[in-house]
Amino acid sequence: MEKTFVMIKPDAVQRGLIGEIISRFERRGIKIAAMKFMRVPHELAEEHYEALKSKPFYSDLVTYITSGPVVAMVLEGTNVIKVARSTMGVTNPADALSGTIRADFALEIGRNVVHGSDSEENALKEITLWFGENVTDWQRNVDKWIFE
Protein backbone atom coordinates (compact mmCIF):
# COMPACT_ATOMS: atom_id res chain seq x y z
CA MET A 1 0.00 0.00 0.00
CA GLU A 2 1.35 3.41 -1.02
CA LYS A 3 2.16 6.14 1.50
CA THR A 4 2.49 9.91 1.15
CA PHE A 5 3.42 12.89 3.30
CA VAL A 6 0.76 15.59 3.76
CA MET A 7 1.00 18.79 5.78
CA ILE A 8 -1.76 21.16 6.89
CA LYS A 9 0.03 24.50 6.62
CA PRO A 10 0.03 27.33 9.23
CA ASP A 11 -2.73 29.35 7.51
CA ALA A 12 -5.15 26.41 7.68
CA VAL A 13 -4.27 25.73 11.32
CA GLN A 14 -4.84 29.41 12.22
CA ARG A 15 -8.13 29.43 10.33
CA GLY A 16 -9.51 26.39 12.17
CA LEU A 17 -9.54 24.13 9.11
CA ILE A 18 -7.65 21.12 10.52
CA GLY A 19 -10.75 18.98 11.07
CA GLU A 20 -12.32 19.91 7.75
CA ILE A 21 -9.15 19.03 5.81
CA ILE A 22 -8.49 15.74 7.62
CA SER A 23 -12.17 14.79 7.13
CA ARG A 24 -11.83 15.08 3.38
CA PHE A 25 -8.97 12.57 3.30
CA GLU A 26 -10.71 10.26 5.80
CA ARG A 27 -14.02 10.30 3.93
CA ARG A 28 -12.26 9.44 0.70
CA GLY A 29 -11.07 6.22 2.36
CA ILE A 30 -7.47 7.25 2.93
CA LYS A 31 -5.86 5.83 6.09
CA ILE A 32 -3.83 7.84 8.59
CA ALA A 33 -0.48 6.20 9.38
CA ALA A 34 1.15 9.03 11.37
CA MET A 35 0.25 12.52 12.60
CA LYS A 36 1.77 15.32 14.66
CA PHE A 37 0.99 18.94 15.56
CA MET A 38 4.20 20.95 15.60
CA ARG A 39 6.05 24.16 14.99
CA VAL A 40 8.41 23.63 12.02
CA PRO A 41 12.06 24.32 12.86
CA HIS A 42 13.76 26.57 10.29
CA GLU A 43 16.27 23.86 9.26
CA LEU A 44 13.46 21.35 8.66
CA ALA A 45 11.57 23.86 6.49
CA GLU A 46 14.73 24.50 4.46
CA GLU A 47 15.39 20.81 4.00
CA HIS A 48 11.77 20.10 3.09
CA TYR A 49 11.78 22.75 0.34
CA GLU A 50 15.40 22.21 -0.71
CA ALA A 51 14.46 21.52 -4.35
CA LEU A 52 12.96 25.03 -4.56
CA LYS A 53 15.99 26.80 -3.12
CA SER A 54 16.74 28.69 -6.35
CA LYS A 55 13.16 29.98 -6.77
CA PRO A 56 12.40 33.64 -6.11
CA PHE A 57 9.60 32.69 -3.68
CA TYR A 58 11.77 30.29 -1.63
CA SER A 59 12.43 32.56 1.35
CA ASP A 60 8.76 33.63 1.58
CA LEU A 61 7.83 29.95 1.47
CA VAL A 62 10.15 29.09 4.36
CA THR A 63 8.84 32.09 6.35
CA TYR A 64 5.24 31.01 5.69
CA ILE A 65 5.77 27.40 6.70
CA THR A 66 7.59 28.35 9.92
CA SER A 67 5.10 31.11 10.84
CA GLY A 68 2.93 28.92 13.09
CA PRO A 69 2.19 25.31 13.92
CA VAL A 70 1.34 22.76 11.23
CA VAL A 71 -0.16 19.28 11.20
CA ALA A 72 2.17 16.76 9.57
CA MET A 73 0.76 13.41 8.46
CA VAL A 74 1.57 10.22 6.68
CA LEU A 75 -1.41 8.99 4.67
CA GLU A 76 -1.84 5.55 3.19
CA GLY A 77 -4.00 4.05 0.44
CA THR A 78 -4.25 2.92 -3.15
CA ASN A 79 -2.40 5.46 -5.37
CA VAL A 80 -2.43 7.80 -2.39
CA ILE A 81 0.32 10.12 -3.71
CA LYS A 82 -1.80 11.04 -6.72
CA VAL A 83 -5.14 10.82 -4.91
CA ALA A 84 -4.06 13.06 -2.01
CA ARG A 85 -2.86 15.68 -4.51
CA SER A 86 -6.09 15.51 -6.51
CA THR A 87 -8.07 15.91 -3.27
CA MET A 88 -5.91 19.00 -2.57
CA GLY A 89 -6.16 20.56 -6.05
CA VAL A 90 -3.40 22.22 -8.09
CA THR A 91 -0.75 24.49 -6.55
CA ASN A 92 -2.46 27.80 -7.37
CA PRO A 93 -5.91 27.87 -5.68
CA ALA A 94 -7.14 30.19 -8.45
CA ASP A 95 -6.72 27.31 -10.92
CA ALA A 96 -7.91 24.52 -8.62
CA LEU A 97 -11.14 22.69 -9.42
CA SER A 98 -14.12 23.40 -7.22
CA GLY A 99 -14.49 20.66 -4.64
CA THR A 100 -10.76 20.41 -4.01
CA ILE A 101 -9.28 21.66 -0.72
CA ARG A 102 -7.32 24.49 -2.32
CA ALA A 103 -10.29 25.73 -4.37
CA ASP A 104 -12.70 25.52 -1.46
CA PHE A 105 -10.46 27.09 1.21
CA ALA A 106 -7.84 29.28 -0.48
CA LEU A 107 -7.28 32.11 -2.94
CA GLU A 108 -3.52 32.60 -3.27
CA ILE A 109 -0.55 30.38 -4.15
CA GLY A 110 1.42 31.56 -1.12
CA ARG A 111 -1.44 30.62 1.25
CA ASN A 112 -2.54 27.35 -0.30
CA VAL A 113 -3.31 25.55 2.99
CA VAL A 114 -1.86 22.08 2.29
CA HIS A 115 1.20 20.22 1.06
CA GLY A 116 1.35 16.75 -0.49
CA SER A 117 4.32 14.78 -1.83
CA ASP A 118 4.49 14.78 -5.63
CA SER A 119 6.24 11.46 -6.40
CA GLU A 120 7.19 8.11 -4.84
CA GLU A 121 10.75 9.32 -4.40
CA ASN A 122 9.73 12.54 -2.64
CA ALA A 123 7.09 10.77 -0.55
CA LEU A 124 9.72 8.42 0.83
CA LYS A 125 12.15 11.29 1.38
CA GLU A 126 9.56 13.47 3.13
CA ILE A 127 8.14 10.66 5.31
CA THR A 128 11.67 9.86 6.48
CA LEU A 129 12.51 13.54 7.04
CA TRP A 130 9.38 14.29 9.08
CA PHE A 131 8.68 10.98 10.83
CA GLY A 132 11.71 8.68 10.60
CA GLU A 133 10.53 5.26 11.80
CA ASN A 134 7.47 6.64 13.62
CA VAL A 135 4.84 5.45 11.17
CA THR A 136 2.12 3.10 12.43
CA ASP A 137 1.28 -0.04 10.50
CA TRP A 138 -2.32 -0.98 11.34
CA GLN A 139 -5.41 -2.72 9.94
CA ARG A 140 -8.69 -0.80 9.78
CA ASN A 141 -11.81 -2.90 10.09
CA VAL A 142 -13.32 -1.15 7.07
CA ASP A 143 -10.29 -1.75 4.84
CA LYS A 144 -12.02 -4.61 3.00
CA TRP A 145 -14.84 -2.22 1.98
CA ILE A 146 -12.38 0.35 0.58
CA PHE A 147 -9.46 -1.69 -0.79
CA GLU A 148 -10.23 -4.52 -3.27
For the annotated catalytic residues, the residue numbers are 115
Among 20, 46, 104, 118, binds Mg ion (CB under 5 A): 118
Alpha-carbon dihedral angle through residues 111, 81, 124, 104, given to the nearest 10 degrees: 20
Residue 147: name its binding partner from ligand DAT, Mg ion, none (Cβ under 5 to 8 Å by kind). Answer: none
The smaller minimum CB distance to ligand DAT, of residues 78 and 91, is found at 91
Give the residue among 68, 84, 79, 90 at the shortest CA–CA distance from 16.
68
Closest to Mg ion by CB, 42 vs 55, is 55
Report what 109 binds from Mg ion, ligand DAT, none; CB cut-off 5-8 Å by kind.
ligand DAT
Q: Which of 32, 109, 124, 135 binds ligand DAT (CB under 6 A)?
A: 109
Site string for ligand DAT, 87-106 (x = CB under 6 A): ----x---------------
Q: Rounded distance, CA 79 to CA 88, Å?
A: 14
How far apart, in whole angstroms, are the C-alpha atoms of residue 90 and residue 112?
9
The answer to whether 105 touches 113, Cβ cutoff 8 Å, is: yes
